[in-house]
Amino acid sequence: ILYVSLHRYDEGNFFPGSGAPNEVGSGPGEGYNINIAWTGGLDPPMGDVEYLTAFRLVPFKTANEFDPEIVLVSAGFDAVKATTLPLGGTKSQLKCFGHLTKQLLKLADGRVVLALEGGHDLTAICDASEACINALLGNELEPLPEDIVHQIPNMNAIASLKKTTEIQSKYWKSVEPYSVPVDCALAESQKQEREETETVSAMASLSVDVEQCIPQEGSR
């Protein structure tokens, strides 16, 4: 089992105080527990850019490498920019959860189960659940705002991601210690990923063409 959690931590000062980035599991499970532990308080708060960047850098890479048979999601929505009780102080928008769910559908041949774990704001729970269900149904999602895709994570998030990736790079080939590249905005990262996918597809097509050009035995 590979377990991944993104949560507010503040060096153990935020309830319940567990979930440090160096809590990686033990024995045969060492390296299979991944904590992206946000530290730095609410100045500034974590939001869409931080969650989407973190998800791309660690959970999605390690999950691809792990190659799960099924993905189980503890669907809690305290990270939503709540209307009444902003527990945790995070500022993720509802559509962000839909886009995260869409990414998960690329794993395990789409075998993804979301289990509602509870929450403290009924409106946020309902609306965020709807965003996730739209993704599960394959419906077209509302695109992320341009200011989000061209923004880089805040410095507290960068520091948290550096700590987690340094630790997890010892266990996962796909994870590299995080630095702050010029192209760390989501738009540039997505462009790079598209170009890599197109390159792989072109090489695969080329290999097929070569095989088709090779004369078959007895056809000379």
pLDDT tens per residue, range 105-146: 999 999 999 999 877 778 888 889 999 999 999 999 988 888
Residue 88 has pLDDT above 80, yes or no: no
Q: What average pLDDT does the structure give for the chain?
A: 83
Angle among Cα 48, 83, 35 to the nearest 5 degrees reads: 40
Same structural domain, 196 and 117: no
What's the pLDDT tens digit per position in 160-212?
Answer: 999 999 999 999 999 999 876 544 555 555 555 555 545 545 555 565 554 45
Q: What domain count does the chain have?
A: 2
**Cα separation, 24 vs 4, whole angstroms:** 10
Same structural domain, 60 and 19: yes
Same structural domain, 98 and 193: no
Reported pTM: 0.77
Query: Does 133 reside within a domain?
Result: yes
Same structural domain, 79 and 120: yes
Q: Which residues pair with 32 in a beta bridge?
A: none
Nearest CA-CA partner of 41 in 4, 13, 77: 13
**Residue 139 belongs to domain with CATH number:** 3.40.800.20
Same structural domain, 136 and 190: no
**Cα separation, 68 vs 31, whole angstroms:** 15
Q: Report yes or no: 127 and 94 within 8 Å, Cβ to Cβ.
A: yes
- Give residue 185's domain range: 181-208
Nearest CA-CA partner of 167 in 67, 48, 32, 74: 32
